[in-house]
Amino acid sequence: MSTANGTPPLLEVLRLRKHFPLRGGVLQRIHAWVRAVDDVSFDVYPAETLGIVGESGCGKSTLARLILRLIEPDAGTVRFAGEDVRGASPPRMKRLRRDMQLVFQDPYASLNPRLTIEDAVAFSLLVHGTPRVEARERARAMLGRVGLDPRLYGRRYAHELSGGQRQRVNIARALVLDPRLLVLDEPVSALDKSVQAQVLNLLQELKAERALTYVFISHDLNVIEYVSGRVLVMYLGEVVETGTADALARSPKHPYTQALFASAPSLDPDRRMERPPLAGDPPNPIDPPSGCRFRTRCAFAMPRCAEAPPALRQVGATHEVACYLYEAEAAVAP
Amino acid sequence: MAITTARPDELAARVTAPMSYWRTVAWRLARDPATLVAGAVLVLIVLSAVLAPWLAPYDPNAGSIRLRLAPVGAPAHLLGTDEQGRDMLSRLLWGGRMTLVAALTPVVIGFVLGTGLGVLAGYVGGLTNTLVMRTMDIFYAFPAVLLAIAISGALGPGLPNTLISLSIVFVPRVVRVAESATVQVKSLEYIAAARASGAGVRAIVRHHLLANVLGPILVFASTQVSLSIILAAGLSFLGLGVTPPAAEWGLMLNTLRQSIYVNAVVPALPGLAIFVTSMAFNLLSDGLRDAMEIRA
């Protein structure tokens, strides 16, 4: 599926699926399903950053929670370093949780208002049996590493900190367990542009320093391009295109990816609005369109797009796209 | 009471060493005049109830036929005497004891049991939630007064039965508040973060959930104290609560009510005591609610 450079993937996600039931009425009968994540597969290799991009509501956050088994998938497998995460026994799961951590999107809701940030970071260590004094010491060191002087901030509560500072606490809390994989669910979306850059640079430094592997989820293409080596484009719970960040930026194949790049604000005047940006809202994931889910907003939709969903097809060495436009090798990019 | 202002050096100390949450709450409470007055009144009431055996000038149950319904300010009887010639001051002091026990115990029981059940229902969800909450709804469907009267009526008069019936009134109310607070907190990301770090249910509930739901539940429970005082007194008034000749404010109100045409002031005294006490609890819980709010 991706760079076959010999090393086994750190994280393998295979045909992962999660549909949420919608219940209603007195008897709480299920009357519809939200197809949040539908047959998503990808691999993440050690030390790389896989970016996952898509509009809000396309299942990115659900995917993050599925990977970490915060919610149980309906089908599919997640393997971490070859080990099946879904089938892990509770003690084994607890061990696995040290190796894969999550940084949350909302810097306000993700910190317990009743804990000092030092205690919030130390909590993860205490859970894994680190003695109290040592846990506090390590938490303080970690806070210092993410740019929050523990002498100034350690005893403060989350509501006394700014959004950027809180996100640093979140990062410290995730990293204090020394994970190998960090899933970042829109880690900078709630922050100002200037603070975003600081936090992104901090994440890049930490990654190099601790040999981390990132799964970086964002709706912001500029952010994704900046941090990712490889990018996965999601639309309504499905993967529509994968490739290196460079390849995607240079020649996006899927009409949705093209629209995403066209609508991303760019500083390069030549790249602005070459194509009409995406019109309308994404269709309701409760009842997605038949066949290709993007066809209702696609400028190139053909009759067959409604019949069956296109499969991911190789269009370059590390570039795959799920679109009928590229079925023939000779297909000309629109 | 002097209003203290922080000196600059105190302020500097505060900036470098932020206060713990409960110290902040206490600091805010101490700065709210209405709460301070209510608190002072309550301290007086509680002290007078606790110290009743030493403060009361007479035996609360010893009457004198010749000294019935003496007016307020009568010689040797500061607050007059009741319809059996018993000293009103002594009876009010002893009655406060009984009323406070009858009113506070059910709220404490309601707080403990209600929090337990509510957190369980809210955190576990699913069938457990349905079972617990629908059962509570059955009790909740009746007005508080009616439910208390019905249960007391079925159990019979007496203090223990009053406590049981009032507890049954308050448990479902606290459960509802605890459940909704739990459901709300449970969905926040810091709970998911705790799960992601490998914490078990017990650690999450103890360190992350309870710390954040106890505040709102405590505030709600404190608002219920005044209702409980009135219900406890009401049950005694109806003859379903504390049995005569024990002194209890509601019961005193009942036995004195026919005397209102002879002496209007003395029968009003237990009512006034009930009013002042429940008012003070209400003001205190308002202050508590404001002080416990987390301000950014």
pLDDT computed for residue A263 by the predictor: 74
Please report residues of B whose CB lies closer than 8 A to that of A173: 193, 197
Chain B neighbors of A156, CB-CB under 8 A:
18
**Given an 8 Å threshold on Cβ–Cβ distance, is B196 in contact with A68?**
yes
Q: Which residues of B touch A104 (CB under 8 A)?
A: 189, 192-193
Q: Is residue B10 one of the residues assigned to a domain? A: no
Chain B residues within an 8 Å CB radius of A115: 207-208, 211
B134: chain A residues, CB-CB within 8 Å: none
- Minimum CA–CA partner of B202 in chain A: A127
Beta strands A49-53 and A213-218, pairing class: parallel
- The contacts of residue B241 (CB under 8 Å, 6+ apart) are B102, B152, B157, B158, B159, B162, B232, B233, B234, B235, B248, B250, B251
Neighboring chain A residues of B188 at a CB cutoff of 8 Å:
109-110
CB neighbourhood size of B149 (10 A): 18
Tell me the shortest Cα–Cα distance from B284 to chain A, in angstroms: 23
pLDDT of residue A260: 83
Bridge-based pairing of strands A100-103 and A181-185 is parallel
pLDDT greater than 90 at residue B112: yes
Which residue among A94, A110, A155 sits closest to B193, beta carbon to beta carbon?
A: A110
* Order of strands across the sheet that contains A75-80: A29-44, A11-24, A75-80, A83-84
Mutate to test the interface with B, among A104, A108, A117, A123 (most CBs of B within 10 A): A123
The count of domains in chain B is: 1
Question: Residue A48, CB half-sphere, CA atoms under 13 Å: how many?
Answer: 21
pLDDT at B258: 83
Task: Give the pLDDT band (50/70/90) at residue B113.
Answer: very high
Give the CATH number of the domain where residue B257 resides: 1.10.3720.10
- Give the model confidence (pLDDT) of B114-168 as tens digits: 999 999 999 988 888 889 999 998 888 888 888 888 888 888 888 888 899 999 9
- Say how far residue B84 (Cα) sits from the centre of its chain: 31
* Residue A157: both structure tokens together: 């509560």
Residue B36 within any structural domain of the chain: yes
Selecting from B188, B195, B196 the residue whose C-beta is nearest the C-beta of A109 gives B188
Structural domain that includes position B95: 21-58+75-292
When pLDDT is cut at 50, 70 and 90, the band that residue A168 belongs to is: very high
Query: A interface mutation test: which of B190, B204, B210, B293 has the most A CBs within 10 A?
Result: B190
Q: Do A110 and B188 touch (CB under 8 A)?
A: yes
Cross-chain Cβ contact B197/A101 below 8 Å: yes
Which residues of B are less than 8 Å from A70 in CB distance? Answer: 192, 195-196
Is residue B4 included in any domain, yes or no? no
Residue A143 identity: L
Note whether B211 contacts A: Cβ–Cβ < 8 A: yes
In a domain, B205, yes or no: yes
**B6, part of any domain:** no
pTM of the complete model: 0.79
Domains and CATH numbers, chain A: 11-87+182-189+217-326 (3.40.50.300)
**pLDDT greater than 70 at residue B170:** yes
* Helix axes B159-186 and B210-237, enclosed angle (nearest 10): 150
Cβ neighbours of B195 in A, within 8 Å: 70
Distance to chain B for A271, nearest Cα, Å? 38
Closest CA in chain B for residue A106: B189
Chain B: give the shortest CA distance to residue A153, in Å: 9
Alpha-carbon separation of residue A110 from A65, A166, A174 (angstroms): 14, 9, 12
Query: Which of B15, B189, B207 to mutate to probe the A interface, most A CBs <10 Å?
Result: B189
Closest CA to A112 of A62, A169, A162, A65: A169
> In whole angstroms, what is the distance from residue B263 CA to residue B70 CA?
8
CB A132 within 8 A of CB A126: yes
DSSP code per residue over A42-65: EEE-TT-EEEEE--TTSSHHHHHH
Per the DSSP assignment, residues forming a β-bridge with A83 are A80
SS (H, E, C) B61-103: CCCCHHHCCCCCCECCECCCECCCCCEHHHHHHHHHHHHHHHH
- B82 within 8 A of B69, measured Cβ to Cβ: yes
Q: What does the pLDDT read at residue B19?
A: 64
Angle of helix B33-50 versus helix B88-124 axis, rounded to 10:
120
pLDDT tens digits along B14-73: 444 556 777 878 888 888 888 889 889 989 999 988 888 888 787 878 777 777 777 777
List the single best residue of B127, B130, B197 to mutate versus A (max A Cβ within 10 A). B197
- State the smallest CA–CA distance between residue A141 and chain B in angstroms: 18
Query: Which residue type sits at B13?
Result: A
Residue A110 has pLDDT above 80, yes or no: yes
Q: What pLDDT is stored for residue B15 in this prediction?
A: 47
Does ipTM exceed 0.85? no
Tokens, residue B136: 């509570």
Nearest to B196 among A102, A155, A156 (CB): A102
Nearest CA in chain B to A155: B18
Distance from CA of A108 to the nearest CA of B (A): 9
Q: How confident is residue A271, by pLDDT bands cut at 50, 70 and 90?
A: low
Helix, strand or coil for residue A222? helix
Q: Which residue has the higher pLDDT, A4 or A116?
A: A116
Q: In chain B, which residues have their Cβ closer than 8 Å to the Cβ of A94?
A: 198
